[in-house]
Chains A and B, each alone.
Chain A
Amino acid sequence: MRLENVWLRYRRRGPWVLRGTQARIGPGEVVVVLGRNGAGKSTLLQVAAGVLRPVRGRVAERPGRVGWVPERFPADQPFTVQRYLTAMARVAGLDAPAAGRAVADWTSRLGLSAFRAVRLPELSKGTAQKVGLAQAMLRPPGLLVLDEPWEGLDAGARELVPAVIDEVLATGGSVLVSDHRGETVRLPGARHWTVADGTVTEEAPSAAAAMAVVEVAVPAARVAGAVARLRAEGHHVLRVRPGDPPAEPASTGPGQPDTDPALPGLGQPGADPAPGPGQPGTNPVVPGPGGPLGSAPASSGPAPGGAPEPAPAAGVAAEGGPATGASR
């Protein structure tokens, strides 16, 4: 899809929000749109999605199937989740059986099963956002446009977004996503567009941007072997540190289905939606945007490659390219 010399303003003689924008996104690519508040990120995304029509210029080769997740899902509607999603599936052109299957599939995968009979205005912000995500995926999109998709999602649910993006990319689709919370570090292979003063510029990919930092918890007795294997596979092991003590499992009552383990259904068999980094027995992975383990406590362990101290578990920080798939 190409944006060719796109100009847009919201009213006659109003200020131009986009001025001569040129951009291109290809199949299998994900682009993160960055910019300060009011710079025009949402406008750019809405032009790409087909919501807004450019005053001048054009959008060429937009895929026929577009999924758009607005920044705020319009929850003020007199429908239940089930009825709304079914209706949107029918609007998208699915017949009744296909619509039923798609709705059942995505409500299950996004942890919305317990909310099917709940009316949209009664949903929490994060759950409503999931409904917005579901409606965009009912018909597999060739272009998925996500406007601040992490807004309102809890820690576990934030992992849903990269998983959905991966699914679109895997089928040759393209993804445009805006973010001002720094969540797009979860997408280490993404191109970056910056919107400022009505124009869009693309950041040149740097070597640092092509790398991601992954924290892996392994049993302490197997640290040396794990480090050796990671190095043998070409990864750069940054450091080894003792593992954090196991955290008390969070109590989630039956009335909190937001914590439904949705991720396994998204094709990430190793992922667990709840645990944080450093919990033994899991394989949490944390991306590091500005540097390796920027938020992690100082390591008391030996330098990379050194012999680990005996401990129940240890964290290994390894750096690898996006192709490792270890960015989450």
Chain B
Amino acid sequence: MIALVRLRLAGFLRTGRALAPVLAGLVALGVLYGGGRAQPAEAYGVSAAVLFPVLAWQTKVLLDVEPDGQRRLARVVAGVRAEEVAGLLAAGVAALGTVAVALVFPWLVGGVTGPVEPGDRPVVIGVALGAWAHLLVVPAAVALGALASRASTGSAGYGVAVLALGGVGAVVLGLSGSVVPWLAPPVMATARAVAGDLTLPTGALLTGWAAAWSAVALVGYSWRRRSRP
């Protein structure tokens, strides 16, 4: 399976199609950090929310760049389950790369600052919370991108629709006062939590919520793939 993950990552990086989502992410981060300096946890929380649709798009591109015939060959050679999981793992690795860039980026452009007032979180804690917020977003974004991929939807139009609905839905349904926030991954809730007084039970709840949402979405992806090799 590792060989298939490497093959798909190589295909993704060599086609140049990886550039589009990466550039979009950098632009979004540039806009985000261009307005002034913020505490790390607060900045990273928003960064994670902004990156959610970017990472989902990146996943869709990674999975779509492989021709359908090659995906089916991989299914025969590696096995059905291994083929599906390898695609998700490759997308996850690519997403972690983008997250690493997102964590470093604000320090390069002076978008974050250390503690200013008494009671501000230390930088290390802020960075750790920021990393946690981004890692919470990765599986949900990979799952959404997989659902939007050509292998799942069968057409480019449906894929874009799934991606757009998922990205917008995560923001709209995640707003404060939403009636059905659990329909979306907790990207907005996480951003609010790390900007405020995050408690351990809240952190555990958000982690469980993200894991459950991702699991349901991935089951849906696997179910779709049953009839779409």
Contacts and interface: CB of A to CB of B under 8 A. Distances in A.
Contact of A87 (B6, B69, B227): B6
Interface string A40-83: 00000010011111010000000000111010111011110000
Determine the main DSSP class of A at the interface with B.
loop
A67 B73 CA distance: 9
Chain B, interface size category, equals 20 to 34
Nearest to A71: B69
Given A77-B70, A79-B11, A11 B77 contact: no
A68 B15 contact: no
B72 interface: yes
B10 to A, nearest CB: 7
A72 B76 contact: no
17 contacts: A10-B227, A49-B76, A50-B75, A51-B76, A68-B76, A70-B69, A74-B68, A77-B66, A78-B10, A78-B14, A79-B14, A87-B3, A88-B7, A88-B73, A90-B3, A135-B73, A139-B77
A135 B72 CA distance: 13
A128 to B, nearest CB: 11
Nearest to B79: A50
Given A70-B73, A74-B67, A78-B15, A53 B7 contact: no
Interface string A85-100: 0011011100000000
Contacts, number: 67
Interface of B: 3-4, 6-7, 10-11, 14-15, 66-70, 72-78, 80, 226-227, 229
A92 B226 CA distance: 22
Nearest to B82: A91
A66 B74 CA distance: 11
A146 to B, nearest CB: 13
Contacts of A88: 7, 73, 77
Given A77-B67, A91-B3, A53 B76 contact: no
A77 B11 contact: yes
Given A72-B69, A79-B11, A92 B227 contact: no
Contacts of B3: 87, 90-91
Contacts of B14: 78-79
Contacts of B4: 91
A132 to B, nearest CB: 8
A87 B67 contact: no
Nearest to A78: B14
Contacts of A74: 67-70, 73
A265 to B, nearest CB: 24
Contact of A78 (B11, B68, B76, B229): B11
A73 B11 contact: no
Contact of B229 (A51, A76, A90, A135): A51
A77 B66 CA distance: 7
Interface in A96-146: 135, 139
Q: Which 10 A-B pairs have the closest CB atoms?
A: A74-B69, A90-B3, A74-B67, A78-B14, A74-B70, A68-B76, A87-B7, A91-B3, A51-B72, A91-B4
A49 to B, nearest CB: 5
Given A10-B227, A52-B229, A91-B4, A66 B76 contact: yes
A142 to B, nearest CB: 12
A87 B5 CA distance: 10
Contact of A70 (B66, B72, B78): B72
A293 B17 CA distance: 55
Given A73-B69, A79-B10, A91-B4, 15 more contacts: A10-B227, A46-B229, A49-B76, A50-B76, A51-B76, A68-B72, A77-B11, A77-B70, A78-B11, A78-B14, A79-B14, A87-B10, A90-B6, A90-B7, A91-B78
Contacts of A10: 227
Contact of B80 (A11, A50, A72): A50
Contacts of B75: 50-51
A199 B123 CA distance: 69
A143 to B, nearest CB: 10
A135 B70 CA distance: 11
Nearest to A67: B76
Contacts of A77: 11, 66-67, 70
A111 B196 CA distance: 66
